Amino acid sequence: MDKIYIYPFGSGQKTLIIADQEIIHLLGTRYDSKLIDSDNDALIIKIDCPVDDVLSFLISYNVPRERIIIGNNIPNFRDVFKNFKRRSRNVVRICPVCGSKKIRVLPLSNWLLSETYICEKCGYRGFIILEVDENECGL
């Protein structure tokens, strides 16, 4: 994730930050933060200090100002996470035993337990499956 999104709230005395794990870890060395939500590519934290303090701290650690975006109002988190998705949705499921692409999800899986996969070629049945980006491997 390239950009760092900073949003003031709570009369400007609190800051909501959306960034990658590296930036969040850096901020955690200075501020007490509370994790609000997370995804594969981004974390959302709340810090009890004004935006200006966070901005000056990031710049003091040589974070380029061009990466930092200061917003006026807090966005819808689902829309934000959709923008952070890096992985293509053209994913091919591959059996970890035989390498076949003939994989299907068992009905009613992901109800009480994780999704259960079954290979129609070798009969593998389990929770672990390989997901390969179709664009990267040429399948």
Identify the CATH number of the domain in which residue 63 sits. 3.30.780
Please, are residues 44 and 35 in contact by the beta-carbon 8 Å criterion? yes
Average pLDDT over residues 87-111: 79
Instruction: Name the 3-class secondary structure at 33.
Output: strand
**Are residues 78 and 43 both part of a single domain?**
yes
Is residue 19 located within the same domain as residue 73?
Answer: yes
**Per-residue pLDDT, 122:** 95
- Give the predicted TM-score (pTM) of the model: 0.51
Segments forming the whole domain that contains residue 16: 4-84
The confidence score (pLDDT) of residue 87 equals: 47
Which one is predicted more confidently, 6 or 11?
6
Q: Are residues 10 and 71 in the same domain?
A: yes
In terms of Cβ atoms closer than 10 Å to its own Cβ (0-12, 13-18, 19+), residue 20 is: middle
Average pLDDT of the residues in 97-105: 90
Q: What is the mean pLDDT of residues 6-18?
A: 83
Q: Same structural domain for residues 9 and 71?
A: yes
77 with 126, same domain?
no
Q: Which residue, 8, 51, 11, 10, is CA-closest to 27?
A: 51
Shared-domain flag, residues 8 and 74: yes
pLDDT at residue number 124:
92
Residues 22-73: pLDDT tens digits? 888 889 888 988 888 777 678 888 998 999 999 999 999 999 998 898 887 6
Whether residue 24 is found in the same domain as residue 66: yes
The total domain count for the chain is: 2
In whole angstroms, what is the distance from residue 130 CA to residue 120 CA? 15
Residues 9 and 61 in one domain: yes
> What proportion of the chain, given as a percentage, has pLDDT over 90?
14
Q: Are residues 67 and 120 in the same domain?
A: no
| pLDDT top residue among 11 and 59 | 59
68 shares its domain with 129: no
